[in-house]
Amino acid sequence: MKDPAGEVERLRQELRRHEHLYYVLDQPEISDAEYDALMRRLRDLEERHPELAAPDSPTQRVGGEPREGFVKVRHSSPMLSLDNALNDGELRDFDRRVRELLGDAEYRYVAELKLDGLSMAAHYRGGRLAQAVTRGDGIVGEDVTGNARTIRSLPLRAAAGLEEFETRGEAIMNRRAFERLNAERDERGLARFANPRNAAAGSLRVLEPRITASRRLDYYAYLLLAGGRPACDSHWQSLEDLSRMGFKVNPNRRLCRNVEEALAFCAEWEARRDELPYEIDGVVLKVDSVEQQRALAFTAKAPRWAIAYKYPARQAVTSVEGIEVQVGRTGALTPVARLKPVEVGGVTVARATLHNEDEIERLGLHIGDNVVIERSGDVIPKVVRVHSPGSRRESFRMPSQCPVCGGTVVREEGEAARRCINTNCSARLKESVLHFASRGVMNIDGMGEALVDQLVDRGMVASVADLYGLTMEKLLLLERMGPKSAANVLGNIEKSKGNPLPRVLAALGIRFVGQRTAELLAGEFGGMDAIAAAGVEELQAAPEVGPKVAQSVFQFFREPRNRELVDRLRAAGLRFEHHAAPLAGGALDGVTFVLTGTLPTLSREEATRLIQLAGGKVSTSVSKKTGYVVAGQDPGSKLAKARELGVRIVDEAQLLELAGVS
Ligand code: IVH
């Protein structure tokens, strides 16, 4: 390579741009696999050219050794907490004080969501992340720089603007990451985190940055300081600046002219809080003008220019009428409380998960007890604690036989869950089929619970591979299944054969192998057979694959039953080879394509991505400049137009060949 330094810089910029698009703006332009490919290229180059190393390179997020403890750091100015307003009246009281203190001058408020995490200061020197410090007691916090560097939405290098500054903001864990973490802890027999805030705090304060990295924290900046003081004259402006500098700033904010507008913002987000992917516990209101902030000053504990409007916790008390046990895809038995229906924050709740038997013991729960339940977003409601014992209490014991198939149930050492070990258990099978067909996995539309129940109960499907043997005659035997919907389902099953290898791999339901891990494995090994043949160590050599995942994949392919399943899926025509997407600058540079009709395996989006990745363009109308028209089934008028203009017409197979991926 002529100019490794130039190439390294180009890759770093490219990766920074994609990190910003993905982690800050939530608008990725490329797939995880493509991102990983870029990262690998950069890593390779940096290894070959150690002289080009840089601490703010995107490869350097997880570095450094585990620490022995945290160093204490004094904050540039105290990190104060806020006074609370518990209802509209208290917020109006706050506003009245502000008005009086400002002597009738005009003022505005910035209303922001109050994220429920922990506050953290991040110091930048020369535009680079130099130090991150937890709030601690507000005067002195702990240096958590190594861990904070793993938070992808926290830029290692500010994109523009100030060189020396400090941001204060909230480190949070979103609900999905929280659920995933707890599910994983269940599997490993570890105690669950009670809420995303505790999980975020626990993850930021671990001594091993790798652990923080795996927890996928997020950081939202809400203050911009220089020399311990506000860096702008207006708070609103500082939020805009932070956003321009590449920080994640919550877009749900509003500049309010008076307290009524602020109250409207509070009410709006109280009603909409379930739409958010993370927990909020209220709204923070800040006087916008920094000059006015200065005039209002501080009490010993909190600023007089800001307040937290707190939402009530979404809890309710009700009684437990019974405990049912559900069986999941992996055979795990989950106890679920049947509740006397109760309204919590506008939703009627009749069931709440109890997770596992340890949790029931921890709660000291008996059937008949009155319990406090809590609903948070789309998370299934949970039992927080026993409120008072019921008058007629009955203790609950987890069954030693599967409630669905009667099979043996075991609890392995180190696991919180009991599992039904009967691989033919119909509950497990149904869950496996639903997982296989689900959106984002094999995407078999129409393969919902009602259909799967029938297919399994009638013995038509005893393995996911049987889906590919379904016929019109068989489907027509089912209830509520006419020829039209049957044809639809069959068409969708057929279409699913075109799914790329990572999806097939994720569809198998191997423990710990979700879409991302599947993509990494496919990228590393190139094909199903190589993955199936790999030893534990080889598997572990793949990026981000730890011993737990490696062991699980290895075990899966040692099981004769699973090998048979894989063979049958191969025979059905599923994709077992991985076509790594080529990077831009490829075979189709500058060529324009027009798509028409349904292609046999690629969706329109996939075909478009494929063309773009190889450097081509996709247009919606055919002209003389069109390079190729890709025609599938039931093409539209574009095909006729192409013929008329003499544009070359190709099918999917030819497209793949042109793009260099077949
Ligand atoms: S401003 C002097 N803005 O709430 C201003 N805080 O009870 C200090 N929080 O410790 C904080 N979202 O951890 C501010 N948009 C936001 C916030 C926010 C969450 C937390 C923060 C703070 C606590 C105050």
Q: Same domain for 254 and 114? A: yes
Inside any domain, residue 531:
yes
Tokens at 167, concatenated: 């941001």
Q: Same domain for 482 and 520? A: yes
pLDDT in tens, 508-520: 999 888 888 898 8
pLDDT in tens, 161-199: 788 999 999 999 999 899 888 888 877 777 788 789 989
pLDDT in tens, 519-578: 889 988 989 999 999 999 999 988 778 888 999 999 999 989 899 999 999 999 999 998
Inside any domain, residue 380:
yes
Q: What is the pLDDT of residue 657?
A: 82
Q: Same domain for 134 and 253? A: yes
Q: What is the pLDDT of residue 378?
A: 59
Q: Same domain for 424 and 539? A: yes
Rounded distance, CA 22 to CA 10, Å?
18
Query: Is residue 632 a contact partner of residue 598, using CB atoms and an 8 Å limit?
Result: yes
pTM: 0.68
Q: Is 89 exposed, middle or buried (0-12, 13-18, 19+ CB in 10 A)?
A: exposed
Q: What is the CATH number of the domain that holds 9?
A: 1.10.287.610
What's the total number of domains in the chain? 5
Rounded distance, CA 396 to CA 364, Å?
10
Choose one of 245, 278, 310: the last residue of a domain: 310
Q: What is the pLDDT of residue 379?
A: 67
pLDDT in tens, 269-320: 999 998 899 999 999 999 999 999 999 999 888 999 999 999 987 889 999 9
Q: What is the pLDDT of residue 582?
A: 46
Confidence of residue 583 (pLDDT cuts 50, 70, 90): very low
Q: State the distance from the centre of ligand 1 to the C-alpha of 119, rounded, in angstroms.
A: 7
pLDDT in tens, 380-428: 788 989 999 999 899 999 999 999 999 999 988 877 889 998 888 999 9
Regarding predicted confidence, which is higher, 470 or 636? 470
Q: Transcribe 69-82 into DSSP letters.
A: S--EEE-SS-----
Confidence of residue 662 (pLDDT cuts 50, 70, 90): low
Q: What is the pLDDT of residue 584?
A: 40
Q: Which of 284, 286, 290, 299 to mutate to test the pocket of ligand 1 (most atoms within 8 A of CB)?
A: 284
Choose one of 553, 580, 607: the last residue of a domain: 580
Q: State the distance from the centre of ligand 1 to the C-alpha of 261, rounded, in angstroms.
A: 20
The closest residue, in CA terms, to atom 16 on ligand 1 is 114
Mean pLDDT of 612-617: 80
CA 84 to ligand 1: nearest atom: 7
Regarding predicted confidence, which is higher, 473 or 613? 473
Inside any domain, residue 540:
yes
Q: Transcribe 480-526 into DSSP letters.
A: T--HHHHHHHHHHHHHHTTS-HHHHHHHTT-TT--HHHHHHHHHHH-
CA 250 to ligand 1: nearest atom: 15
Inside any domain, residue 67:
no
Q: Same domain for 297 and 441? A: no
Q: Same domain for 373 and 421? A: no
Choose one of 60, 75, 102: the last residue of a domain: 60
Rounded distance, CA 268 to CA 255, Å?
14
The pocket around ligand 1, CB under 6 angstroms, is made up of 80-82, 112, 114-115, 119, 170, 222, 284, 303, 306, 308
Rounded distance, CA 336 to CA 353, Å?
4
Q: Same domain for 143 and 23? A: no
CA 112 to ligand 1: nearest atom: 15
Q: What is the CATH number of the domain that holds 356?
A: 2.40.50.140
Inside any domain, residue 586:
no
Tokens at 207, concatenated: 């001594």
Q: What is the CATH number of the domain that holds 608?
A: 3.40.50.10190
For residue 354, pLDDT over 70 is answered with yes
Q: Same domain for 432 and 358? A: no
Q: State the distance from the centre of ligand 1 to the C-alpha of 81, rounded, in angstroms.
A: 7
Inside any domain, residue 585:
no
For the chain, the average pLDDT equals 90
Mean pLDDT of 365-393: 88
Which residues, other chains included, contact 256 with Cβ-Cβ below 8 Å and sequence gap of 6+?
A: 108, 109, 110, 111, 262, 265, 285
Q: Same domain for 428 and 352? A: no
Q: Same domain for 484 and 551? A: yes
Q: Same domain for 127 and 142? A: yes
Regarding predicted confidence, which is higher, 205 or 380? 205
Nearest to 438 by CA among 450, 447, 426, 428: 447
Q: What is the pLDDT of residue 192?
A: 80
The closest residue, in CA terms, to atom 9 on ligand 1 is 114
Inside any domain, residue 305:
yes
CA 308 to ligand 1: nearest atom: 7
The residues annotated as belonging to the active site are 114
Q: Same domain for 211 and 296? A: yes
Query: Is residue 271 a contact partner of residue 327, using CB atoms and an 8 Å limit?
Result: no
Domain enclosing residue 517, as ranges? 399-580
Q: State the distance from the centre of ligand 1 to the C-alpha of 381, rounded, in angstroms.
A: 27
Inside any domain, residue 77:
no
